């Protein structure tokens, strides 16, 4: 059995009805500092837009700069930066600057986002997002070579640009691509990059197994060799007893499941959703789940010992190499409980995978 797993904290600067925006920023930084102090290897920053009841983290690159200044050792990852919403040259400049500020600790997670409403807020067309994503990534990579370049695409057009700074890490920060929908796994595999899995629309983690297999097969067919990271974002909650591990995050977890059903329903039949992405069926499956179903199939909650066992099972079944753990699934777990869970995970769970 392979034991090595990398652990990183997923942070979304969550909103709730009782916390001011100013306090959210303070609390999230306190959680990040607790994660580093207790041995977490990474901090992964979400990106949300136009959802004030969910998160205030709409500017992750800016926040990542603050995290870099307040930490010393952890990797700082974007999970994920939505490329088609911004000018790729500007992204290249800001991300390279962040790589310098963090002294080479940056991981550049990128994606398209799964819901069209974000694009509507920016006056963009979600149906164009895949093509725009491809062009954006190509422009960013060319920007980081340190050489003048020109690019003439369908959506972006540049002539004889010299972009500065270039990243500290050569040739660039590690890139990983987010995947939520089933059709994305094959596309990422063909590109050859590591994958960052958000399993928010599956009803059991084992549903991911054929998708991950498709990712590896597409990667092999495209001629990519060697090992590749498979990162899994997953709710993890560790407590001293099973009763506490199940009861303390229960309200927050079911709050999130209800919210997820609403968001998926809102996206049904919207422009840019592929034929194979059956969101009506996804919403129906998610809506039918009880808390017991969620505990059994979608989250990892328990004592340190039971969490170790469950993560070992997921590692063996899915071949994951990274756990991006989310201790506040649903945005309503009290900060003191989050910090306690993070410390237990890093001190009692993570050492079993080194």
pTM score, two decimals?
0.94
Q: Would you place residue 151 in the very low, low, confident or very high pLDDT band (cuts 50, 70, 90)?
A: very high
Q: In sequence order, which residues have a C-beta less than 8 Å from that of residue 274 and are 6 or more positions away?
A: 181, 183
| 1 domain residue, yes or no | no
The mean per-residue pLDDT over the stretch 97-119 comes to 95
Q: Which residues contact 232 (CB under 8 A, 6 or more apart)?
A: 197, 199, 205, 208, 314, 318, 320, 322, 323, 324
Instruction: Classify burial at 143, counting beta carbons within 10 Å of its beta carbon; exposed 0-12, middle 13-18, buried 19 or more.
Output: buried
Domain membership flag for residue 341: yes
pLDDT at residue number 269: 67
CA distance 92 to 151: 14
Percent pLDDT > 90 in the chain is: 87
Determine the pLDDT at residue 200.
Answer: 84
Look at residues 143, 46, 136, 44 and name the one whose alpha carbon lies nearest to residue 83.
Answer: 136
Report the pLDDT value the prediction gives residue 60, as an integer from 0 to 100.
Answer: 98
Residue 30 located in a structural domain: yes
Residue 331 lies in domain: 6-353
33-85 pLDDT, tens per residue?
Answer: 999 999 999 999 999 999 999 999 999 999 999 999 999 999 999 999 999 99
Has residue 20 been placed in a domain?
yes
CATH number of the structural domain spanning residue 205 = 3.20.20.30
Please report, to the nearest 10 degrees, the dihedral formed by the alpha carbons of residues 246, 251, 252, 253 taken in order: 60
237 close to 299: Cβ distance less than 8 angstroms: yes
Q: Are the C-beta atoms of 208 and 215 separated by less than 8 Å?
A: no
**What's 204's DSSP letter?**
S
Is the N-terminal amide bond of 219 cis, ω within 30° of 0?
A: no
The half-sphere exposure of 115 on its side-chain side, counting CA atoms within 13 A, is 18
Q: What would the mean pLDDT of 170-181 be, rounded to a whole number?
A: 96
Q: Domain count of the chain?
A: 1
Q: What is the CA radius of gyration of the chain?
A: 20
């Amino acid at each position: 059995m392979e034991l090595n797993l990398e652990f990183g904290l997923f942070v979304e600067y969550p909103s709730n009805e009782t916390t001011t925006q100013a306090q959210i920023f303070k609390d999230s930084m306190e959680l990040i500092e607790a994660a580093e102090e207790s041995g977490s290897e990474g901090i992964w920053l979400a990106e949300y837009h136009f959802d004030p009841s969910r998160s205030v983290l709409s500017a992750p690159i800016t926040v990542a700069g603050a995290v870099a200044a307040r930490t010393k050792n952890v990797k700082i990852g974007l999970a994920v930066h939505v490329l088609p919403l911004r000018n790729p040259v500007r992204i290249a400049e800001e991300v390279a600057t962040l790589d310098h500020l963090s002294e080479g600790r940056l991981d550049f997670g990128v994606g398209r986002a799964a819901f069209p409403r974000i694009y509507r807020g920016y006056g963009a067309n979600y149906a164009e997002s895949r093509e725009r994503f491809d062009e954006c990534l190509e422009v960013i990579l060319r920007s980081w070579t340190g050489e003048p370049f020109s690019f003439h695409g369908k959506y972006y057009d540049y002539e004889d640009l010299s972009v500065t700074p270039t990243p500290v890490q050569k040739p660039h920060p590690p890139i990983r691509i987010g995947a939520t929908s089933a059709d994305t796994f094959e596309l990422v595999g063909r590109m050859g990059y590591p994958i960052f899995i958000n399993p928010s629309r599956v009803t059991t983690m084992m549903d991911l197994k054929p998708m991950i297999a498709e990712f590896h097969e597409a990667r092999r067919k495209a001629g990519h060799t060697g090992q590749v990271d498979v990162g899994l974002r997953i709710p993890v909650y560790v407590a001293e007893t099973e009763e506490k591990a199940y009861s303390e995050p229960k309200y927050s977890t079911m709050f999130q499941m209800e919210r997820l059903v609403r968001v998926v329903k809102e996206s049904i039949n919207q422009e840019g959703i592929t034929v194979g992405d059956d969101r009506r069926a996804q919403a129906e499956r998610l809506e039918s789940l009880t808390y017991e179903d969620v505990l059994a199939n979608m989250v990892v909650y328990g004592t340190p010992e039971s969490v170790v066992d469950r993560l070992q099972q997921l590692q063996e079944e899915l071949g994951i190499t990274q756990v991006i753990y989310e201790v506040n699934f649903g945005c309503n777990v009290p900060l003191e409980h989050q910090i306690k869970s993070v410390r237990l995970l890093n001190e009692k769970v993570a050492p079993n995978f080194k």
